[in-house]
Amino acid sequence: MATSYSVTDIGRRRQMNQDYVYTSDDPVGELPNLYIVADGMGGHKAGDFASNYAVNHTVEEVKNSTEHGMHDIIDVALHRVNAGLHEIATTRDEYRGCGTTIVLCSVDDGILHVANVGDSRLYVIGSRIWQVSVDHSLVQEMIRAGSLDRKRARTHPEKNVITRAIGAEESLDIDFFTWDLHSGDLILLCTDGLTNMLEDDEIRDIVSGTGSLKEKATKLIERANENGGLDNISALLIDPFARQ
């Protein structure tokens, strides 16, 4: 069975933490476990509301789902959450234009199931670091088109422009992934407040080093703040084989 530890931090420049994190090492509905990270966007308290809404309503949808299998459970849940948040974002002035990224996963018998919308990421870290999720962002489209080098993307002036978000549109495109896990692998879900401050190799060195999940997650946050802490920072670490 998996075990996890998460940390979320306001960073050094923001007045409010608009990230939201959920962890359950125990079953949620038909899923054996569930881990979610979201990064809200919108003025004043709108981003905080959006990430909170998306995560908590996703959890409730999963708990009450009549679907079967990770893909269908999450697909239906996120579409319902998107519809609810989009209605709020288009009808209530205080939340107008709000939205949120979301990345989530569940681990079942050594198989990692992932879904993501936006640019919050999921990595698998073992002998190497692999980004499993795909950024839905302007710079990622530029990388894919060959007009931007991946190493320059982290400092590009439009690095925070995302092309998909929960609540942003009536329709929703979700990316789903599966990944075969191996002994020693750890899973990291995080917001761009971490990945904009640390290179992937820095993340790998911290996560693959010595220490508990708590120590590693805390060190990731500390390093991101040392490097500037320009945004809210969230890190959720999972050991998928901890209790076997």
Q: Could you count the other beta carbons within 10 Å of the beta carbon of residue 55?
A: 23
pLDDT value at position 159?
A: 65
- Is residue 58 situated within a structural domain? yes
CATH value at residue 132: 3.60.40.10
pLDDT tens digits, one per residue of 42-73: 876 899 999 999 999 999 999 999 999 999 99
Question: What is the pLDDT, as a whole number, of residue 140?
Answer: 72
Q: Tell me how far apart the alpha carbons of residues 40 and 203 are, in angstroms, rounded to a whole number.
A: 23
Q: Please report the pLDDT score of residue 157 as a whole number.
A: 62
Q: How many domains does the chain have?
A: 1
What local confidence, expressed as pLDDT, does residue 3 receive? 98
Please tell me the predicted confidence (pLDDT) of residue 136: 87
- The predicted model scores a pTM of 0.94
Beta-ladder partners of 10:
none
- pLDDT computed for residue 73 by the predictor: 99
pLDDT of residue 1: 87
Which of these, 72, 231, 215, lies nearest to 239 by C-alpha position?
A: 215
The answer to whether residue 244 sits within a structural domain is no
Q: Which pLDDT belongs to residue 158?
A: 66
Contact between 39 and 19 (Cβ < 8 Å): yes
Domain span at residue 74 reads 3-239
Is residue 158 situated within a structural domain? Answer: yes
- Inside any domain, residue 78: yes
User: What is the pLDDT at residue 196?
Assistant: 93
Does the residue 178 lie in any domain? yes
Query: Which regions of the chain are under pLDDT 70?
Result: 44, 146-147, 149-159, 243-244
Q: Are 3 and 32 in contact (CB under 8 A)?
A: no
